[in-house]
Structure 1
Amino acid sequence: MTTPVPEPKWVERFRHDLRAAAGGEPERIGVAVSGGPDSLALLLLAASAWPGAVAAATVDHQLRSESSQEAAWVARTCADLGIPHRILPVTVAAASSVQAQARAARYAALRVWAEDERLSVVLTGHHADDQAETLMMRLLRGSGVSGLAGVRARAPFARNALLCRPLLGWRRSELAAIVSSAGIRAVDDPSNLDERFDRALMRRRLAEAIWIDPPALARSAAALAEADDALDAIAGALADERLSSGDGWAVLAPQNIPRALLRRLVRRALTHISPGASPRGDQLGMLIDQLIEGKTCNVGGALCRGGEHWRFEREPPRRT
């Protein structure tokens, strides 16, 4: 079976979007394919735009009895299309944060696959509607610039591989039409409609709010991502001037630094002291308030002291 080719205008649009997301011409392309319409459309577009350069993988989370059958169906579909495919089984512990755990397990498996296959990019099928859902959920949680930047079009992923999301400017309906025109019936994951999950509930609410324009929200998220990158660059330059550190300690001179940049510099200091334990959101804001007042407090294994210079050091071991 030859690969069904989407309309030339779609393929050319996809070429442009992937080159923009990847920062140039991709070489060996990996596509994460769940079997849903979004990832299947991504696979068809990638295989048509870069024939012979595409491999696919399906992560089987083993959370539903049908998941192994769905992964096997994707494998057969890829075989019919002449696209190399691997099934990546993962184990996800049952917990209240099952979706977060599934996401972490999925990306960990895809990283290993990307390195094994020596891929230059790994693509996921996130699109404008997904980005709108993410932005709205984070707005309702009171997120700052970094959170409101939403899903990034490009991020470091594995050794020599980028994670790219070239469909952030595409609508869900456009992708479904591409799959339908190829004569492929996509997998229907019932969790996408399960309103016990925040995203499924937000999806329904956005569909009901016909005045909301998901592509416009996606463009706003992209603009916020650019602002976030700019703030990071400024914070990096400020860190060279205002932040000193050594083994187990860091000192920051906070005078006249805008709060948005203070947040990033304090996070840098805390990450140096206790990697992975840096607070965000309201917790970080409360810490900065205490440091401005000259107080001393403990956060994530770090002892933080305010004053003219803010000092961060590892919390001393407690006496037994």
Structure 2
Amino acid sequence: MSATMPPPQKQKQAADPGSVERFAADLTALAGPDWHDKRYGVAVSGGPDSMALLWLVASLLPGQVWAATVDHKLRRGSADEARMVAGYCAREHVPHAILHPAAPIAGSLQAAARTERYRLLEQWREAQALDHILTAHHADDQLETMIMRLNRSSGVGGLAGVRASNGAVLRPLLHWRRDELAGLALDADLPIAQDPSNADIRFDRARLRHALQAQLFLDPQAAARSAQWLGEADAALDWAVGAAIATWPDADDPSVIRDRDYPDEIFRRIVERRLRANDPRLGLRGDTLGGVIAAMRAGRRAMVGELLIDAVKGSGKDFWRILAAPRRKARL
């Protein structure tokens, strides 16, 4: 069961101008020069990170902030946490909604819950006509993500970690430390809830978080800057892929794949982009994508889901087409 801690009953603390100014600069970098004219939704779990984010946004832009808490009903105490956030928002005159999935979470628990959480938040954002959703991911989260993906042999895109901007979702706290946000929540007398799953070592992230607490060598803020640069490198590679495809005579035909002695990383992205254009459900990465490319370059057909990549006859080894894979005959 989670522990919900109300603040002491004393006079409300004034906003710390230094923290609010710092946050304003971070938000401007993501939301653009018209940031102060926009409407923001804040994803608030009730933990110190998200409560500190809510406090910062509400202090900076009173009257332009909405909040939402997603209750997956996966553990006891989650409803109490959502009500705690609702009570705080009512006192601060911040409109608040509690969002519930329509069906129980199935599959990989944390991944499925994350997907559903963003789906619900996007629905809510559209219904409220909000410009952006803000989440409280910070530098320590970013370091954890980068290490987890390093252990999975991720490439440039994966090692870029959590993106500061993804569609309507903005993450303005990626250069803030977890301890800074916890201290801000304490100084502002914010009510907070502790999610026990954050310390549950059955989960990979919780085990890693526990291990990182005992080390002083890795700098989360430096890692966050590296992740930002890796993200820019990832975007530059995608731009180069688009520029390369644009030079093809049949660039508008999504079934075509060409190779003009491109660097390996560029060609991998070309193949992945073309496959996704034919089937957006595909998510080829790492060794799986490498096996497909090895088959292509060896002159063999490559099966990918319900698609078939086949070399165009007489073209050498630099021109392929993506076709629908032949249906397998049903056994009698």
Letter in 1 for 2:324: R
Q: Deviation string for 1:63-89 (max 9, x for gaps)?
A: 012111110111001111111101111
Number of aligned pairs?
Answer: 314
Return the alpha-carbon distance in structure 2 between the equivalents of residues 145 and 62 of structure 1. Answer: 35
Equivalent in the alignment of 1:169: 175
Q: Deviation string for 1:171-219 (max 9, x for gaps)?
A: 0000001110111231000000011111111111111221111111111
Name the SS of the counterpart of 1:113 in structure 2: helix
Letter in 1 for 2:271: V
Conserved 8 A contact 1:273-1:314 = no
Return the alpha-carbon distance in structure 2 between the equivalents of residues 4 and 226 of structure 1. Answer: 39
Equivalent in the alignment of 2:292: 287
Return the TM-score normalized by structure 2: 0.90
**Overall identity of the aligned pairs, in %:** 47
Letter in 2 for 1:315: A
Equivalent in the alignment of 1:270: 275
Conserved 8 A contact 1:3-1:81 = no
Change (3 A) 1:209 1:242: farther
Q: Which one of the candidate residues 3, 8, 30 is aligned to 2:17?
A: 8
Return the alpha-carbon distance in structure 2 between the equivalents of residues 319 and 243 of structure 1. Answer: 37
Conserved 8 A contact 2:245-2:251 = no
Higher relative contact order (CA 8 A, sep 6+): 2
Name the SS of the counterpart of 1:294 in structure 2: coil
Q: Which one of the candidate residues 184, 187, 190 is aligned to 2:193?
A: 187
Give the stretch that moved more between structures: 230-239 or 165-174.
Answer: 230-239
Give the stretch that moved more between structures: 253-262 or 3-12.
Answer: 3-12
Give the stretch that moved more between structures: 202-211 or 45-54.
Answer: 202-211
Give the stretch that moved more between structures: 253-262 or 304-313.
Answer: 304-313
Equivalent in the alignment of 2:133: 122
Give 1:269 deviation, angstroms: 1.1
Return the alpha-carbon distance in structure 1 between the equivalents of residues 174 and 105 of structure 2. Answer: 31
Confirm whether residue 304 of structure 1 aligns to residue 309 of structure 2.
yes
Q: Which entry has the higher C-alpha Rg, 1 or 2?
A: 2
Give the stretch that moved more between structures: 237-246 or 128-137.
Answer: 237-246
Give the stretch that moved more between structures: 272-281 or 50-59.
Answer: 272-281
Return the alpha-carbon distance in structure 1 between the equivalents of residues 214 and 45 of structure 2. Answer: 26
Equivalent in the alignment of 1:84: 95
The 5 A counterparts of 1:94-109 are 95=106, 97-109=108-120
Conserved 8 A contact 1:243-1:253 = no
Letter in 2 for 1:223: W
The 5 A counterparts of 1:57-96 are 57-91=68-102, 93=104, 95=106
Conserved 8 A contact 1:235-1:265 = yes
Name the SS of the counterpart of 2:67 in structure 1: strand
Return the alpha-carbon distance in structure 2 between the equivalents of residues 155 and 126 of structure 1. Answer: 13
Q: Which one of the candidate residues 151, 167, 170 is aligned to 1:140?
A: 151
Give 1:297 deviation, angstroms: 1.7
Conserved 8 A contact 1:32-1:57 = yes
Q: Deviation string for 1:40-94 (max 9, x for gaps)?
A: 0000000111111101000011001211111011100111111110111125645
Letter in 1 for 2:62: P
Return the alpha-carbon distance in structure 2 between the equivalents of residues 221 and 93 of structure 1. Answer: 34
Equivalent in the alignment of 1:254: 259
Runs of 4+ in 1 over 6 A off after TM superposition: none
